[in-house]
């Protein structure tokens, strides 16, 4: 499994601590440094079963600068999907974290202990 983290994030550190305590075999991706491509973001969204706006940190400064709250400019439907994905690739700090890609091909946004344990069980 792979976990996308920001080392400054307490939820990410908690997830890593739990993975280590469980003896999980995983790879860390510091996604702010090793920025995912648009195709990688699409693949993770497919694995999550979510849309890009579902994993966007809308309170970040970049979100406000881009005007992501303006639903007319940033529609949350198929017509706006590629634009949202482009924004996430250009501003990876907007990606919700941590994200764990499980061995069974699924993924979870692992912000809770339950979500981390869910990924471990797959």
Taking a C-beta distance cutoff of 8 angstroms, is the pair 53, 76 a contact? yes
CA 10/CA 31 separation, integer angstroms? 15
Q: How far apart are the first and last CA of the chain?
A: 10
Residue 9 annotated in active site? yes
The one catalytic residue in 2, 3, 8, 9 is 9
49: left (phi over 0), alpha (psi -120 to 50) or beta: left
CA 101/CA 120 separation, integer angstroms? 10
Q: Which DSSP letter does residue 93 get?
A: G
- Pairing label, strands 27-30, 99-101: unpaired
Residues identified as active-site: 9
């Amino acid at each position: 499994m792979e976990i996308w983290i920001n080392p400054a994030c307490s939820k990410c550190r908690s997830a890593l601590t739990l993975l280590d305590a469980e003896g999980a075999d995983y790879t860390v991706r510091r996604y702010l440094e090793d920025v995912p491509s648009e195709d990688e973001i699409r693949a993770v969204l497919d694995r999550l079963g979510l849309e890009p706006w579902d994993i966007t940190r809308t309170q970040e400064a970049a979100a406000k600068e881009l005007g992501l709250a303006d639903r007319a400019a940033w529609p949350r439907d198929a017509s706006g999907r590629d634009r949202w994905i482009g924004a996430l690739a250009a501003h990876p700090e907007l990606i919700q974290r941590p994200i764990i890609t499980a061995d069974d091909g699924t993924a979870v946004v692992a912000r809770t202990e339950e979500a981390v344990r869910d990924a471990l069980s797959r």
